[in-house]
Chain A
């Protein structure tokens, strides 16, 4: 059993972000990066599946050299090795990432490809689906439970208003939802061991991705409006009055 987990780094979701001068992106000077939370669910599931079925867990990400720290935190959770594809965040979109991952899948021939359902920065929710399409493989997105049975994966999906359980043939693309599991905390010994685990670095050329054109162009970003300070009301009548006449929600 070989499990490939595609992960993405995102700016620390708890940190305050600033926009760059022309509002085309986020100021990256001195920001902290974390593994995208849904990607952590994907890594955790890969490790659980490895625990049950044996085999290897391989991480892959696209990014510049300093994305290595993000990879190491995934390795610290327990993955065996990693592949970093040279790339620059601003020169990527979901489609290009999916095509890059497709080439990685061809090289590695994994049985299962796990991803987070989406990254919490762009909220695109596309890479898993696009990758399955490029591979011509089955997909199970928003997984809340994964069971491998022989050459099939039985996946419970969170859909509007309930759960759907489907069975799909391997190799397959599965994207993790939040309730799939609780990602483990990287342990200190795990973090120390991660230092010595191999990370292969490949360029797009070496991988055979020649078309690097983007299909999406970000025109502008805006920060949400600043929160106004709250105020105390004296009585329920006051509150009702304000809700009716100031907030106009009643």
Chain B
């Protein structure tokens, strides 16, 4: 029989709106035309394609699912599909968009003052101001409530001191959403817009990464940075503030990694149709088909879940446990798919030419960032039992 496309098996096209389909096509085309020709070099050199930020902004994906302030106001499903296509390019590209949109812009959009929104969101949607999100610290990852970064009141200002680690976009960010304790406990956590150029604020690149090489991952060093109270996000109080931002971003991670998985499956299928061993195409071998079927089935499950949860998000009825499940399983699916695709491609699979090893390496990061696989497992376990095992 004729081969079916993965889209046909997912069966999502009839369920999407025309806008959602068009948005996906447009992003896919941009990634294919403008990003794919350079990604291998970028990855090898360990750089993020900053020259493309203007084009990414023109495409309208920055702040895509936010309303107002120069943002597109697209549906959450449309934004998810955009992430799906961006990450088919590279996890670094999607991470740039996720951090700008779902963490930095969302923090201001959700917790900021009208003045903060007016000042920053249109600039960020246009790609003229780039944001990063500082929650994780060198010694506090899965347990952000243990953070040691402090904001101390000084007249009309705050003095912020502390270090943040594993911060996407840090190196070139114009503003950092920094979460700091204003007292002793996690309830005292507040969010601040720290601007590049404020004395005592530095951002550094983290060298030596073998994953997310085409993404700028860095650290923030803050020594008595004087930040006006007008830069505090007034609506965020306690750990719930940054956690809600992360829930928002994890949704885009889930969709994104499935796009990378889809890319790896496509590569594997195409390769096995061409590659002949023992006189027949590899695609005709049962052990190969088993791998492809397992990959395909799990990607289909992930995409179906993504659209379902996207629609719930549009109803504002998406629970953070659902997002934990989605992010956790999508990242596992994608990592397994990339590794299996690598195996199916044999020795060719380890070269950058076929891209699957790059995805496999990147997906080691997505497995761990934005809440590790293990932490999301505990979130789901707690939801099922009512017992916390953190």
Chain A residues within CB distance 8 Å of chain B: 16, 18, 30, 34, 68-69, 72-73, 76, 185-192, 194-195, 229
The yes or no answer to B60 lying at the interface (CB within 8 A) is: yes
In the bound complex, do residue A191 and residue B19 qualify as a contact, i.e. CB atoms below 8 Å apart? Answer: yes
Please give, as numbers and ranges, the residues of chain A lying within 8 Å of B274 by CB-CB distance.
229
Q: Report the Cα distance A189→B30, complex, angstroms.
A: 15
The yes or no answer to B64 lying at the interface (CB within 8 A) is: yes
State the main secondary structure of chain A at its contact with B: helix
Kindly provide the distance from the CB of A197 to the nearest chain B CB, expressed in whole angstroms.
Answer: 12
Please give, as numbers and ranges, the residues of chain B lying within 8 Å of A229 by CB-CB distance.
274, 276, 281
In the bound complex, do residue B64 and residue A188 qualify as a contact, i.e. CB atoms below 8 Å apart? Answer: yes
Stretch with Cβ within 8 A of A (4 or more), from B21-29, B41-49, B195-203, B241-249:
B21-29
Q: Which of B73-104 contact A (CB under 8 A)?
A: 73-74, 78, 82
In the bound complex, do residue B276 and residue A73 qualify as a contact, i.e. CB atoms below 8 Å apart? Answer: no
The yes or no answer to B59 lying at the interface (CB within 8 A) is: yes
Please give, as numbers and ranges, the residues of chain A lying within 8 Å of B71 by CB-CB distance.
189
Chain B residues within CB distance 8 Å of chain A: 2-3, 8, 18-19, 21-23, 25-26, 29-30, 58-61, 64, 71-74, 78, 82, 274, 276, 281
Q: Report the Cα distance A195→B61, complex, angstroms.
A: 18
The contact of A186 among B26, B64, B73, B82, by CB within 8 Å, is B26
20 A-B residue contacts at CB 8 Å? Answer: A16-B2, A16-B3, A69-B21, A72-B19, A73-B25, A76-B26, A185-B58, A187-B58, A187-B59, A187-B72, A188-B23, A188-B59, A188-B61, A188-B72, A189-B60, A191-B19, A191-B23, A191-B60, A192-B19, A229-B276
The contact of B72 among A16, A69, A192, by CB within 8 Å, is A192
**Which residue on B lies nearest to A27, using beta carbons?**
B2
Kindly provide the distance from the CB of A229 to the nearest chain B CB, expressed in whole angstroms.
Answer: 6
Known: A16-B2, A188-B82, A191-B74. A72 touches B22 (CB 8 A): yes
Known: A186-B26, A229-B276. A69 touches B18 (CB 8 A): yes
Known: A16-B2, A229-B276. A187 touches B18 (CB 8 A): no
Q: Report the Cα distance A68→B19, complex, angstroms.
A: 11
Q: Report the Cα distance A73→B274, complex, angstroms.
A: 35
Q: Report the Cα distance A73→B19, complex, angstroms.
A: 9
Kindly name the residue among A68, A76, A191 whose own CB sees the greatest number of chain B CB atoms within 10 A: A191
**Which residue on B lies nearest to A232, using beta carbons?**
B276
Kindly name the residue among B18, B25, B64, B72 whose own CB sees the greatest number of chain A CB atoms within 10 A: B18
**Which residue on A lies nearest to B33, using beta carbons?**
A185
In the bound complex, do residue A18 and residue B2 qualify as a contact, i.e. CB atoms below 8 Å apart? Answer: yes
Q: Report the Cα distance A185→B71, complex, angstroms.
A: 17
